[in-house]
A = this chain, B = another copy of it.
């Protein structure tokens, strides 16, 4: 008979949603009234001083949560989190990287949506820079990638960017299928 308490701890720990007593009992193949006192014990152990996590009952289940008094520290950690690319940012960056020099209208034509916001984010993050203005009516700005872009992606130069063709060549069958489709 294995020690059930650490198993319960592990089960609750890895679950994104709160885990119910019924779920735990089912996984362990045990009676609920054998599991419940173990949950209470676990909860008490975590509630003891010197711990950063609490076992709480939420939405009909059990879930580990950080102690509320540490919220400020947790917030600080999340603030220091490295910049996360949104899908839109990545799309735009990819288009600029591969099609530069490029103007905003071309980016938007390719993406099919307004890209001003995401362009600005990329300019702010210094991944993209303004190369100049195009000699056409309206003198739109021309965008390209920056030195920081190369550093961020660990590239020596732009020629180091893999081409789509090269990626397709990895799996010859797959690329030929794509070429054949309309």
Whether A6 and B132, one on each chain, are in contact in the complex, defined by CB atoms closer than 8 angstroms, is no
Asked if A156 CB lies within 8 Å of chain B CBs, one says: yes
Contacts of A120 in B (CB 8 A): 167, 170-171, 174
Q: How far is the CB of A42 from chain B (nearest CB, A)?
A: 9
Known: A116-B172, A162-B130. A77 touches B155 (CB 8 A): no
Interface centre among A53, A123, A155 (most CB of B within 10 A): A53
Asked if A89 CB lies within 8 Å of chain B CBs, one says: no
Known: A3-B50, A13-B66. A26 touches B139 (CB 8 A): no
- The complex places the Cα of A102 from the Cα of B81 at a distance, in Å, of 31
Whether A26 and B80, one on each chain, are in contact in the complex, defined by CB atoms closer than 8 angstroms, is yes
Asked if A136 CB lies within 8 Å of chain B CBs, one says: no
Copies in the complex: 2
Contacts of A11 in B (CB 8 A): 52, 70, 73-74, 77
Whether A117 and B67, one on each chain, are in contact in the complex, defined by CB atoms closer than 8 angstroms, is no
Whether A155 and B132, one on each chain, are in contact in the complex, defined by CB atoms closer than 8 angstroms, is yes
For chain A residues 146-168, which have a beta carbon within 8 Å of chain B? Answer: 154-156, 159-160, 162, 166-167
Whether B7 and A50, one on each chain, are in contact in the complex, defined by CB atoms closer than 8 angstroms, is no
Whether A53 and B9, one on each chain, are in contact in the complex, defined by CB atoms closer than 8 angstroms, is yes
Contacts of A117 in B (CB 8 A): 170-171
- The complex places the Cα of A120 from the Cα of B168 at a distance, in Å, of 9
For chain A residues 10-49, which have a beta carbon within 8 Å of chain B? Answer: 10-11, 13-15, 19, 23, 26-28
Q: How far is the CB of A22 from chain B (nearest CB, A)?
A: 10
Known: A73-B27, A73-B28, A116-B169. A52 touches B8 (CB 8 A): yes
